Chain A
Amino acid sequence: MSEDDERQQSPPSDLEFVSNKARNCNATGSGSGHPEFQSTYPDQVLENVLENVLHFLTSRRDRNAASLVCKSWYRVEALTRSELFIGNCYAVSPGRATARFTRVKALHLKGKPRFADFNLMPPDWGAHFNPWALAMAKAYPWLEKVHLKRMSVTDDDLATLAELFLGFKELVLVCCDGFGTSGLAIFVSKCRQLKVLDLIESEVSDDETDWISCFPEGESNLESLIFDCVECHINFEALDRLVARSPSLKKLKLNRYVSIGQLYRLMVRAPQLTHLGTGSFSPSDIAGQGDQEPDYVAAFAACRSLVCLSGFREIIPDYLPAIYPVCANLTSLNFSYANITAEQLKPIISKCHKLQTFWVLDSICDEGLQAVAATCKDLRELRVFPVDPREDNDGPVSEVGLQAISEGCRKLQSILYFCQRMTNAAVIAMSKNCPDLVVFRLCIMGRHRPDPVTGEPMDDGFGAIVMNCKKLTRLAVSGLLTDKAFDYIGRHGKLVRTLSVAFAGDSDMALKYVLEGCPQLQKLEIRDSPFGDAALRSGLHHYYNMRFLWMSSCRLTRHGCQEIARAMPRLVVEVIRSADEEEMDDVVGTLYMYRSLEGPRTDAPKFVTIL
Chain B
Amino acid sequence: IKEQEEIEAKAIQIGSKDRSKKRVEASCFVSMEVGRKMANMLGTDHDLNFKETELCLGLPGGIAVVAAGNETESSSSPKTNGKRGFSETVDLKLNLQSKESTMDLNKNLDDNGSKEKSGSAKDPAKPPAKAQVVGWPPVRSYRKNIMANQKNSSEESGNSGAALVKVSMDGAPYLRKVDLKMYKSYQELSDALAKMFSSFTMGNYGPQGMIDFMNESKLMDLLNSSDYVPSYEDKDGDWMLVGDVPW
Contacts and interface: CB of A to CB of B under 8 A. Distances in A.
A in complex with B: yes
Interface in B178-207: 180-181, 185
B64 to A, nearest CB: 27
B138 interface: yes
B134 interface: yes
Interface string B146-165: 11001001000100000100
Residue among B118, B137, B147, B153 with most chain A CB within 10 A: B137
B202 to A, nearest CB: 32
B247 interface: yes
A313 B154 CA distance: 12
Given A117-B140, A391-B132, A391-B137, A314 B150 contact: yes
Majority-rule SS of B interface residues: loop
A438 interface: no
A387 B142 contact: no
A603 interface: no
Given A286-B181, A390-B129, 15 more contacts: A117-B138, A117-B140, A118-B134, A120-B135, A293-B245, A313-B146, A314-B150, A336-B143, A386-B139, A389-B137, A389-B144, A389-B147, A396-B118, A445-B137, A500-B138
A59 interface: no
Contact of B235 (A290, A318, A336): A290
Interface string A381-394: 00001111111111
A319 interface: yes
Contacts of B208: none
Interface residues of A, number: 41
Contacts of A392: 129-130
B120 to A, nearest CB: 6
Nearest to A336: B143
A179 to B, nearest CB: 15
Contacts of B138: 117-118, 443, 500, 502
B113 interface: yes
13 contacts: A118-B141, A119-B135, A201-B140, A286-B163, A313-B146, A386-B139, A389-B137, A390-B113, A391-B137, A393-B113, A394-B118, A500-B138, A503-B136
Contacts of A445: 136-137
Given A314-B153, A337-B146, A392-B130, A386 B118 contact: no
A133 B113 CA distance: 47
Contacts of A443: 137-138
Nearest to A339: B150
Greatest chain B CB density within 10 A among A229, A503, A527 is at A527
Q: How large is the interface on B (under 10, 10 to 19, 20 to 34, 35 or more residues)?
A: 20 to 34
Contacts of B140: 117-118, 175, 201
A231 to B, nearest CB: 9
Contacts of B118: 393-394, 396
A201 B129 contact: no
Interface string A374-414: 00000000000111111111101000000000000000000
A391 B245 contact: no
A348 to B, nearest CB: 15
A602 interface: no
A447 B246 contact: no
Contacts of B180: 287
Contacts of A287: 163, 180
Contacts of B235: 289-290
Contact of B141 (A119, A293, A339, A528): A119
A392 B235 CA distance: 50
Nearest to A445: B137
Contacts of B133: 447, 528
Contacts of B136: 118, 391, 445, 447, 502-503
A118 B129 contact: no
A533 B4 CA distance: 53
A201 B142 contact: yes
Interface string A432-468: 0000000000010101000000000000000000000
B139 A418 contact: yes
